[in-house]
Structure 1
């Protein structure tokens, strides 16, 4: 199966990777990414562990305070660093090459982000109003606004790191070796979904969350292939996580920066599961909106 004509822009991301398309380079590169990410995070949290009381360590790792959530989100920067080192060492590629042409990347990111922001405002103004039960105020509005620039930066670091790894490094390396989108879109999406499989956190919702992540991965891969940069995929991921982490969050994990908290946890199978299905529909609408923004 050959690449569809709609994905011709993807070639500008893949062209320089074709010089070294061997799969062993990708696999060893991922080993480098994993070692750097785990090592640097281990050092970071060892230092943090020496500064906080033992009885607060578990709560810190769950990100239930503003400081903890900031640290956890910013630690994803080690993932981007790992990809940059792996790409340079294994394929002589730069992080800029993985992101795409600078001006095009910036322009596409801004257009998609603005389009999704407008969509979000419109959807917020439409019924239904509320999510079944009253929300809980997590931060005062003044504190939330004060933290917002730092919070948004932390979310951008986290989301861009995941896109750089999955829709960037892995997708491009596979596309340099295989022509079929089934492989270079499907494999990174499966890996992305596997990383979201956490039955210990999400309980009986684990499979549904994993399927959601797989579909999201495919849609982000599609935007990347159509646009020729990671700008649209990062914008989509950033806006999605901004809403989920900074506006209305689940109380279980990474909730410290949210303005409001939902009245149920990730393991809840009643109302939360209904909203997860709604979130599937919203994700599709956001993807379609991003595609329209790219046609400007």
Structure 2
């Protein structure tokens, strides 16, 4: 059973973290100060160890210094930051005491149980990747009507494609913890994943290959990291990655890719079995 008291006072850490993530898109100059406050709160509530905080700082410093380097040194820095990001995403760095919000909860009677954490490690990759490639938040283009139509049609079609495979079934639900899901999924999950797969991987591949190859490759990688759900889940996740990739490429706005990603996940939760059908 979910209780609001379970989020307090430790939830202050993630409230500060959420503010830090939002500031990246709204007030970029203040995110370092907000991230510092988040670190202080996390240390105070024993949600991060000094060693884990040191690992985070090292990754951020290397990412920042990479902007001044060229050639092999820059490549090494990029490699280090991506390795650092992967370790954070996979929860391989000890010293992070992530907050368990839901333990084997059900969104509906026909859904499988799932657990939800407010992670402190995974969201850190956003700040490292933005320092590594600041342009991921600055590049903008104008989406055309045909492009918008494709994005809209793919967004509408994807839930029905997932339904047709049998991995989900229609089920309307509004759990008491929906608001926590919204904050967690939007600001901590979707922002981190879009920064990695679209802002970094897709953009780097497009620069070295072609737009088509870059978008497809990033979408395939995004699908593969959902291997725990099985081959059909990988297929749907790959198509979802294509939707997010096209959104980012055609608009040039990482925020738009994040919003589309989150909207798809919210539709999944509210109108279908989540995360899968039992």
Q: Provide TM-score, normalisation by structure 1.
A: 0.49
Match for residue 96 of structure 2 among 9, 32, 43: 43
Spell out the pairing of 1:134-283 with structure 2 (5 A cutoff).
135=171, 139=175, 143=176, 147-157=177-187, 158-176=189-207, 178-198=208-228, 202=229, 206-250=230-274, 264-265=277-278
* Distance in 2 of aligned mates of 1:218 and 1:240: 13
Asked if the contact 2:114/2:275 (under 8 Å) is kept, the reply is no
* Distance in 2 of aligned mates of 1:233 and 1:86: 16
Residues 202-252 of structure 1 deviation map (CA, whole Å, 9 limit, x = unaligned): 4xxx22221121122122212211111113221211111012124433366
Asked if the contact 1:99/1:164 (under 8 Å) is kept, the reply is no
Provide the secondary structure at the position in 2 that maps to 1:44.
coil
Match for residue 33 of structure 1 among 85, 98, 103: 85
* Distance in 1 of aligned mates of 2:178 and 2:127: 28
Q: Where in structure 2 are there 5+ consecutive unaligned residues?
A: 1-65, 108-112, 160-167
Query: Which structure carries more helix by proportion?
Result: 1
Q: Provide TM-score, normalisation by structure 2.
A: 0.51
Q: Where in structure 1 are there 5+ consecutive unaligned residues?
A: 1-15, 53-58, 124-131, 253-263, 266-296
Question: What is the aligned partner in structure 1 of residue 137 from structure 2?
Answer: 99
Looking at both structures, which has the greater relative contact order when contacts are Cα pairs under 8 Å and sequence separation is at least 6?
Answer: 1
* Distance in 2 of aligned mates of 1:39 and 1:164: 20
Question: What is the aligned partner in structure 1 of residue 123 from structure 2?
Answer: 80
1:249–1:135 distance in 2 versus 1, CA, 3 Å: closer
Residues 177-197 of structure 1 deviation map (CA, whole Å, 9 limit, x = unaligned): x14124422222121111011
Provide the secondary structure at the position in 1 that maps to 2:180.
helix
